[in-house]
Amino acid sequence: MIDYEYLKPKDLEEVFSLLKSYGERAVLIAGGTDVMVNIRNKKLAPEALISLRGLEDLAYVKKGEDGYHIGALATHRMLETSSLVQSELSALYDGASQVGSVQIRNVATVGGNICNAAPSADTASPLLALDAVAVLRGPGGSRKVPLTEFFTGPSQTVRASDEVLVEFEIPSEMGQFGSAYHKHSRRKAMDLPILGVAVSLKIEGEIIRDARIALSVAAPTPMRAMEAEAYLKGKKLSDDVLIEAGKIAANEASPRDSLRGKAWYRKEMIETFVPRMAHKALERLKNR
């Protein structure tokens, strides 16, 4: 049994003070659904857990003139039940609603899911496909990092040890896109994904004006398939075009063999689900 202090600061300034005092001996904890598992598996052995649960002002989902704002302490259940997320950020709804059980979603936070930086994170691909930007705050102020630059490796991010992820910003233009995410797993029962595919599309008439394709469990970090996106832009919408985009995305990916799936299988599933999620995104866009 690992013995640690449990600290519950009331505001960010107190968080920064505790981080300065404990340094690498402390770990931030939000919902705890990842951290506690890592402690139990002896991947973490902190002297102190600094809880962010008291920072209730970081739990929100809202839309402003400058875009969408999602607090890092918003739970997956908040995202799942938000009519704004369901209608305008549909891929994020898809991802959040498939995380664990309802009990897990009631406590697990989107900020924790992203900071854990697992290649299989269910909200990573949707946020990437929605051009999300991570807002980090530390003693020296705030900085914004596009999510495409946030992940540096498995379980690694650009977040400094004295920084806290406080918010995700999504550009207002993404409300003009249709989006969808598919979690490909062996069973529909709290399983980690074999693969995750998120697609967002902007259409004018029959022309694809803009596109985002994001993949999880397809590389050491969640990734954007930039070449496939570039291929789609300006193309006339057709099944052949979407199928080709799936092939390009599969070639961009660098999955590995694991107990959950072989690399070749993941590549074939990318080819399959990129067109499917594109069609689902377009269907949602038409039904708004």
Going by DSSP bridges, is the β-strand pair 133-138/164-170 parallel, antiparallel, or unpaired? antiparallel
CATH topology of domain 178-286: Enolase-like; domain 1 (3.30.390)
pLDDT at 227 over 90: yes
- At residue 188, the pLDDT reads 58
Instruction: Provide the sign of the torsion angle of the four alpha carbons 265, 267, 268, 269, taken in this order.
Output: positive
Closest CA to 202 of 226, 227, 172, 233: 233
Phi-psi map region of 100: left, alpha, beta (phi>0 left; psi -120 to 50 alpha):
left
Going by DSSP bridges, is the β-strand pair 61-64/178-184 parallel, antiparallel, or unpaired? unpaired
Q: Domain ranges in the chain?
A: 5-51, 56-173, 178-286
Q: Which residues pair with 5 in a beta bridge?
A: 48
Domain 5-51 class in CATH = alpha beta
Tell me the per-residue pLDDT of 173-207, one tens digit each, with 9 for 90 and over: 999 999 999 998 876 555 677 899 999 999 999 99
- At residue 64, the pLDDT reads 94
**% of the chain exceeding 70 in pLDDT:** 97
Contact 197, 274 (CB under 8 A): yes
Q: Which residue has the tokens 């599969």?
A: 250
Instruction: Provide the sign of the torsion angle of the four alpha carbons 283, 87, 54, 13, taken in this order.
Output: positive
Report the amino acid identity of residue 176. Answer: Q
Q: What's the rounded Cα separation, in Å, for the pair 193 and 190?
A: 9
Stretch (H or E) spanning 77: helix 76-81
Going by DSSP bridges, is the β-strand pair 164-170/178-184 parallel, antiparallel, or unpaired? unpaired
Mean pLDDT of the chain: 92
Closest CA to 111 of 58, 72, 164: 72
Residue 108 CB-half CA count within 13 A: 28
Contact 203, 182 (CB under 8 A): no
Centroid of chain to Cα 64: 21
Tell me the per-residue pLDDT of 8-26, one tens digit each, with 9 for 90 and over: 999 999 999 999 998 888 8
CATH topology of domain 56-173: 3.30.465
Q: What does the pLDDT average to over 242-256?
A: 96
pLDDT at 36 over 80: no
Q: Extract the tokens encoding 14.
A: 């107190």
Tell me the per-residue pLDDT of 38-57, one tens digit each, with 9 for 90 and over: 777 777 777 788 989 889 99
